[in-house]
Amino acid sequence: MIASIDEYRDIKIFLDPVDLEVLQRKRIEGVLVKMLEPEKQGIIGLSFNQERVKRTGQNVEVDTSGFFVAESNFCIDVFIGEFRYQEILTTGKSETRYFTSSGSKIEIYDRTRLEDFNLNMYAEDIEFYIKEKQD
């Protein structure tokens, strides 16, 4: 799993097939890249948690409390419910607003089912930034 967050706090998550298999059983983690400063990377956690998402009414909850505490090694936790999980399985994507006051949105994609050229390139950019930092 790889992910990005931009200047509007919009989050894009790209899942591999193994991520989708494991997701319903346990929390998965991946690399989160700040797109304005791609050298700054942290952790994105994604969990299936039906009880937690009931509070939001969006069938998704995003916890950004670990995002603003550090320049690096920051963390964002995302919780999805049954509706969002099934939406990803059937359509290959799920998207919604998670902070209504700012209009921030979250988009979750099955990487194997991306049909949009721009999204494919975006995911490849994230991979490039991750590899660049590792080298």
What are the beta bridge partners of residue 94? Answer: 108
The whole-model pTM stands at: 0.93
Residue 70 pLDDT grade (very low, low, confident, very high; cuts 50, 70, 90): low
* Phi, psi (rounded to 5 degrees) for 42: -140, -150
Domain ranges in the chain? Answer: 2-134
Taking only the tens place, the pLDDT of each residue in 82-97 is 999 999 999 999 999 8
pLDDT tens digits, one per residue of 7-61: 999 999 999 999 999 998 999 999 999 999 999 999 999 999 888 888 777 789 9
